[in-house]
């Protein structure tokens, strides 16, 4: 145990962030660095529990409890406290291929299930994780490590998001020749185009891709399997394939006026913004050579309404503020969460509590209040003479049971309001994967339209073809994508070799 009385002596402390008024002027990460001494103090708060819930990775009531990739958190907390950073890095990399990603964008279910969190603020696990991996790169401890031998087997991975990258990394370690196909112009999937740069610097993604390339992984960008590369060739040119294309079909809002100009899915806005950030010389023309991508959509000087919460909604808020929008409102159909845990949401479940993320914090600093309006929905969109959206009619909702006992939203008569909007962003989640690959390969899908493959086996209805990540489980967290990518790699290795060397 790091320090038996540490959790009683030291309060939780995180590094400061740059002030909202300053950070919205650029696209750089806004979390400041923490000195090693303070990190060691925070690690000393770890209780090294006899049963550490922080790394259990269970689903409780449909929500993650503990780390889905089973990070050995108490072990590397103890090592950081003792100043043994190299050993801490070794322990961290045993379970996590990409701590530099999870240490920035993971919502930290590990902290939500930290035993200390029953009575006190939990250990700052996520910040310590990020510090370990960044010290590893800074000290030169992380270098290319190609496998000592090659099996001669070839594996294709479709999609270069966190599931695809984790699967590729593991299969390459097992000695297989791995080729990753990506339809965008850069490798990284949602890590590149789904998460803004101020939340995850794209140079960090490229740093990891360069490392994997040096270790022998082949990346093929600007290539959409099923369109630019026939899906059937996967079966003839590779010994196995893993589908990691994500759940990229967005949920729409079919109300009056939906066809007006100025109403966009969140990913159109975020993807086009990052393409413009990475390639400003292209201007609004941000599509790649195979026609994939979205034009740059500016929020400058506009009244912006974001419909939907979650990480994607927050990223739309933060991005629109950096465009210097005129006003910003975020609509949440759910009720405002309570300020504290409720009796029906006990530890170690994910706490369903009111929180203020970076985007809302920035909006509050600029406009004086949280931009979120709860228990409302958009009833219709109103347009101007040019066919562009100019206003949104919103209405309050209450949650009631229908005849079958389901809880559904019902409009509250007399609560209608009209709000100005020249840009509306739909951030209401995703329905499942796109159809091209599954239809080309005639692969079975589940009732939710995801690729049908049992968790733990990851095998599809087509022999030699596996699936992992959001494409298999539906929209989820980056850390679950890494979990599934590692699992699919293990089962793919077993299929190819008759046994597996992967954990």
Looking at residue 396, its pLDDT comes to 98
**DSSP-derived 3-state class of residue 422:** coil
Whether the pTM exceeds 0.85: the reply is yes
User: In which band, very low, low, confident or very high, does the pLDDT at 289 lie, cut at 50, 70 and 90?
Assistant: low
Query: Of 210, 36, 67, 233, whose CA–CA distance to 135 is shortest?
Result: 36
69 phi and psi, to 5 degrees? -100, 10
Same domain membership, residue 446 and residue 310: no
Same domain membership, residue 107 and residue 73: yes
Q: At what angle do helices 36-43 and 73-81 cross, to 10 degrees?
A: 130
Secondary-structure percent of the chain, ordered helix, strand, coil, rounded to 5: 35, 20, 50
Distance CA 456, CA 489 (A): 11
Same domain membership, residue 258 and residue 391: yes
Same domain membership, residue 400 and residue 265: yes
Burial of 386 (0-12, 13-18, 19+ CB in 10 A): exposed
Q: Can you give the CATH number for the domain in which 68 is found?
A: 1.10.1060.10
Residue 284 DSSP symbol: T
In a domain, 503, yes or no: no
State the average pLDDT over residues 182-188. Answer: 96
Model confidence over 98-154: pLDDT tens digits?
Answer: 999 999 999 999 999 999 999 999 999 999 999 999 999 999 999 999 999 999 999
User: In which band, very low, low, confident or very high, does the pLDDT at 287 lie, cut at 50, 70 and 90?
Assistant: low
pLDDT at 284 over 60: no
Same domain membership, residue 282 and residue 241: no
Query: Of 146, 198, 136, whose CA–CA distance to 169 is shortest?
Result: 146
Distance CA 410, CA 404 (A): 15
State the average pLDDT over residues 469-489. Answer: 97
Peptide bond into 280 cis (omega under 30): no
Query: Of 37, 35, 56, 50, whose CA–CA distance to 1 is shortest?
Result: 50
Query: Which domain, by its residues, includes 64?
Result: 6-138
Model confidence over 424-438: pLDDT tens digits?
Answer: 999 999 999 998 898
Same domain membership, residue 353 and residue 283: yes
Same domain membership, residue 435 and residue 422: no
Exposure letters 440-452 (e unless 16+ CB within 10 A, then b): ebebebeeebbbb
**Domain termination residue (choose one: 398, 428, 458):** 428
Domains: count for the chain: 3
pLDDT at 489 over 60: yes
- The residue whose two tokens read 């509050």 is 364
In a domain, 409, yes or no: yes
Q: Can you give the CATH number for the domain in which 303 is found?
A: 3.50.50.60
In a domain, 143, yes or no: no
Q: Tokens standing for 490?
A: 């293990």
Same domain membership, residue 123 and residue 42: yes
In a domain, 437, yes or no: yes
What share of the chain in percent tops pLDDT 70?
98
Same domain membership, residue 159 and residue 123: no
Query: Of 322, 331, 305, 307, whose CA–CA distance to 359 is shortest?
Result: 322
In a domain, 144, yes or no: no
């Amino acid at each position: 145990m790091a320090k038996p009385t540490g959790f009683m002596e030291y309060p939780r402390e995180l590094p400061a962030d740059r002030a909202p008024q300053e950070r919205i002027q650029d696209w750089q990460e806004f979390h400041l660095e923490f000195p090693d001494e303070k990190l060691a103090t925070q690690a000393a708060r770890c209780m090294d529990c006899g049963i550490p819930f922080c790394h259990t990775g269970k689903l409780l009531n449909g929500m993650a409890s503990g780390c889905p990739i089973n990070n050995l958190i108490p072990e590397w907390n103890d090592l950081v406290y003792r100043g043994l950073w190299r050993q801490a890095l070794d322990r961290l990399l045993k379970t996590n291929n990409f701590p530099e990603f999870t240490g920035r964008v993971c919502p930290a279910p590990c902290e939500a299930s930290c035993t200390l969190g029953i009575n006190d603020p939990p250990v700052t696990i996520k910040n310590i994780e990020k510090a370990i991996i960044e010290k590893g790169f800074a000290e030169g401890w992380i270098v290319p490590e190609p496998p000592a031998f090659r099996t001669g087997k070839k594996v294709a991975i479709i999609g270069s998001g966190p599931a695809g990258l984790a699967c590729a990394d593991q299969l390459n370690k097992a000695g297989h020749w791995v080729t990753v196909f990506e339809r965008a112009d850069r490798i990284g999937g949602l890590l590149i185009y789904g998460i803004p740069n101020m939340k995850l610097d794209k140079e960090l993604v490229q740093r990891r891709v360069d490392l994997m390339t040096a270790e022998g992984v082949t990346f093929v960008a600007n290539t959409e399997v099923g369109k630019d590369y026939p899906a059937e060739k996967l079966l003839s040119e590779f010994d196995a394939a893993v589908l990691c294309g994500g759940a990229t079909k967005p949920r729409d809002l079919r109300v009056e006026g939906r066809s007006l100009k100025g109403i966009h899915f969140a990913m159109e806005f975020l993807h086009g913004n990052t393409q413009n950030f990475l390639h400003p010389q292209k201007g609004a023309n941000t599509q790649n050579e195979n026609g994939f991508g979205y034009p740059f959509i500016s929020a400058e000087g506009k009244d912006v309404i974001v419909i939907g919460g979650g990480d994607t909604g927050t990223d739309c808020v933060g991005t629109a503020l950096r465009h210097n929008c005129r006003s910003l409102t975020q609509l949440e159909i759910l009720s405002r969460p309570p300020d504290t845990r409720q009796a029906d949401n006990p530890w170690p479940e994910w706490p369903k509590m009111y929180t203020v993320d970076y985007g809302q914090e920035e909006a509050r600093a600029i406009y004086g209040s949280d931009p979120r309006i709860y228990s409302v929905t958009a009833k219709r969109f109103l347009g101007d003479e040019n066919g562009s959206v100019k206003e949104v009619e919103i209405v309050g909702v209450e949650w009631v049971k229908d005849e079958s006992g389901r809880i559904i939203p019902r409009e509250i008569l007399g609560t209608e309001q009209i709000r100005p909007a020249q840009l509306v962003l739909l951030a209401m989640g995703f329905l499942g994967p796109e159809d091209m690959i599954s239809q080309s390969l005639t692969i079975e899908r589940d009732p939710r339209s995801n690729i049908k493959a049992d968790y733990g086996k990851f095998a599809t209805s087509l022999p030699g073809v596996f699936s992992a990540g959001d494409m298999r489980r539906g929209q989820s967290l980056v850390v679950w994508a890494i979990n599934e990518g590692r699992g699919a790699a293990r089962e793919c290795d077993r299929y190819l070799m008759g046994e597996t060397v992967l954990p």
